[in-house]
Chain A
Amino acid sequence: MVNYDNAKDLLTWEFDFALSTYYEIETEAIEHLLPKQLNPIEVAPGIALMSLTALNFPPGALGHLPEFQELIFGLIVTPDLSRGVPKFAMYIVSLSSTNREHLEHCVQHYRLPVHGQFTGVSLQHDPHVVEYEDADGPILSMRNIHPNPAYGEGERYFQAFVMDNDRLYVADVVMKGSLFEHQQTGDAGKLWPHPFYNGVDVEAAEPVAFMQMLNEPGTMGKQLYPRPEKFR
């Protein structure tokens, strides 16, 4: 697993809701968003993966902040295995949340590509359902497809890549908690055309849910997220 002995400014975030969906999308629809050092993972010829992760942070998850919600749009890319062997690696394209101070922190501490602040979030813990919108309109509705999640305590190490001022950065992130991953097929909700997707025509792409990850309702999970460091 990850050794955080020399990690810079490691923060531990506690969340009580996590729902992440990987959608299949044609590679040519997203590859222009990737920096030259990264390549998309293809699950079939010409088919890449984009992920949308919704999180709910209870009061105190980040210092004095009240409860807030976050949504991250990423592309699944080839990891750097010289850092360790993660479950996956993600290039973060866009992030929004309901809290202005949190967004400022994301920019300053994590160099994250912040899109803006949500105006409306509807979130249901069990079964997992979320809806996000902002001043430009609805962004997504997303729900868990699996009827009988079998949660188990576990850790998921992933690499988070971000671009800032034409430089690529990476952080080794670990999610801990009572989690469940599945590849049940079905209707995971709807993605609405929206600037949050940075030009990706999600409606035309008709994304298919490839995989989902969720946390056990009523339990707290942790995300260990150090400050990203320069990548090569």
Chain B
Amino acid sequence: MEPTSEAELADLISSAKAPLCIRGGGTRLLGPIEGEVLETSGLQGISLYESGALTMVAGAGTTLDEIGAALKAENQRLAFEPPDLRDVLGTTGASTIGGVAASNASGSRRISVGACRDFMLGVRFVDGAGIVAKNGGRVMKNVTGYDLVKLMSGAFGTLGVLSEVSLKVMPKVEMQLCLRIEGLNAKQAVAAMSAALGSPFEVSGAAQALDGAVVLRLEGFDASVRYRADKLTQVLAGFGTVEMLDDQAQCDTLWRDIRDARGFTGSTGDLWRVSVKPSDAPELIDTLGAHAVLLDWGGGLMWVDMPKRADLRARMSVPGHATLMRSDDKGFEQVARFHPEAAPLAKISAELRARFDPKGILNPGLMGDVA
């Protein structure tokens, strides 16, 4: 099913009696979902773009490519840099802004500017009963009523199918520089990243790549970036030799690979995405028995390549949560994709799902039980 209008989407959902597999472009799928496919790609088009107000409103099915092209023409960008997961998840198709919003897809700049949800100004959606509702709007500051925008962002379609999103966009930066330190273990790497992120020098990316190198990104006006790079090099002197990369294309590629976890493309293990307090990451790495780990967000985001069927959560010794991103069908059958919540939160989430999806048809089973 590919509705071409919000009204058609509402009709389809209100008359549906069986589970639906909700997707935008299908590039961020976390394993198989039972049900007839309902794609939002027909809800297409940018309906408003005011570059002077840093605001864009687009149909949920609008592709990231189209949005990127419109932004580029005004020298702007999505500051939360949504990852492109096609390579690593082995999916094809065109990512949509609705899919980005529904999965709260946030890249390396999460640690400085915020996540996708922090840039979402408003949503329109159709709930599981076929009722159309909106929340938020298209202005930067809005506390009028409850913030369902946040609730819908990251709900993976289980509370409603997004039909339109409005976003805060940001100006592109003049340039970027990367600092690189080799030869650090995870504990030293997190310490170095913490020192950088705890400085006044506005680091917009802090990762330990699969080759073990710690990389830090600085962005802005040329003179400012160079000044901060010098200062930061002094801050990090105790951690090893600090190499500076200023080839823009090389920096782009480096951060694209980290953002998209490309190093795990074609690897044979189960791929997990783990969110923890950064200083807990090294200890966790010691207990996981993983094939390989990529640290982003200063250590707070771990991409973990685990032996097949090894339940990473059973080995988690620290607070946080883990999402199973990639496995085979059997793996997805055996292990819940999302981290089981503590009982009182699981109850609230299940009741929310029952209320917003009374027929239990929106990506059922993807995120957890329905009350």
A, B from the same assembly: no
Mark B residues whose CB is within 8 Å of A. Answer: none
